[in-house]
Amino acid sequence: MNAVVVLEWNFSPPDYFEEPLEISRQDYTMTIADGKVQAKIDSAIYEANPSMRRSLHDALNDRFLGVQLLTHRAYEPSKSTMTQVHPDGHRDIFMEAEPGHIVIAGNAVDIQVIDKDGNVISDSKRDRIEKKKSLAELVSTHRATDALLASLLRSYDAAVRDPNNELVHLI
């Protein structure tokens, strides 16, 4: 058994994706839940491609950009920490410190329509979560290879982060 490299990020707001996500790819598995992201990679794969850390950060950011199109909410991911877990259980931990800040925000109002027999006919939260997942996946798949999409997402992100000058950023 090889050692495992674990990359971890924190993000705010912690409910940005609303429910846990698991992304499995050939080289890694990533979980996103409650303001935390964890990517697990076989250390042999990571050592062969150390730029993978930056690539995973970019792929994670793509998912945030996809959700941002639906929520019009800014987000803030941290830099990743890296831990190498060896087969005998000992760990090598690498971190980058960042300044902190506090954000206070409200949640969306959700509506469920239930028929007289108790069956859910409509669920606004479930619909919203599905839209987020779908759009995040589309952006994650296409942003790296579509220069126009990448430019539009950067512009939209700048507009969300600078609401006083929002229209200036929308090109």
- Residue 83: exposure state from Cβ atoms within 10 A (0-12, 13-18, ≥19): middle
**The whole model's pTM is what?**
0.66
pLDDT of residue 108: 74
Angle between helix axes 147-161 and 124-142 (nearest 10 degrees) is 130
Q: Using alpha carbons only, what angle is made at residue 158 by residues 171 and 139, rounded to the nearest 5 degrees?
A: 80
- 161 vs 75, 76, 138, 139, 166, CA distance in Å? 9, 10, 22, 19, 8
pLDDT of residue 97: 65
Tens-level pLDDT at each residue, the chain (171 residues):
689 999 999 999 999 999 999 999 999 999 999 999 999 999 999 999 989 999 999 999 999 999 999 999 999 999 899 999 999 988 888 866 667 777 777 777 888 888 888 899 999 999 999 999 999 999 999 999 999 999 999 999 999 999 888 888 776
Beta bridge partners of 92: 84
pLDDT of residue 23: 94
Alpha-carbon distance of 4 to 15, in angstroms, equals 28
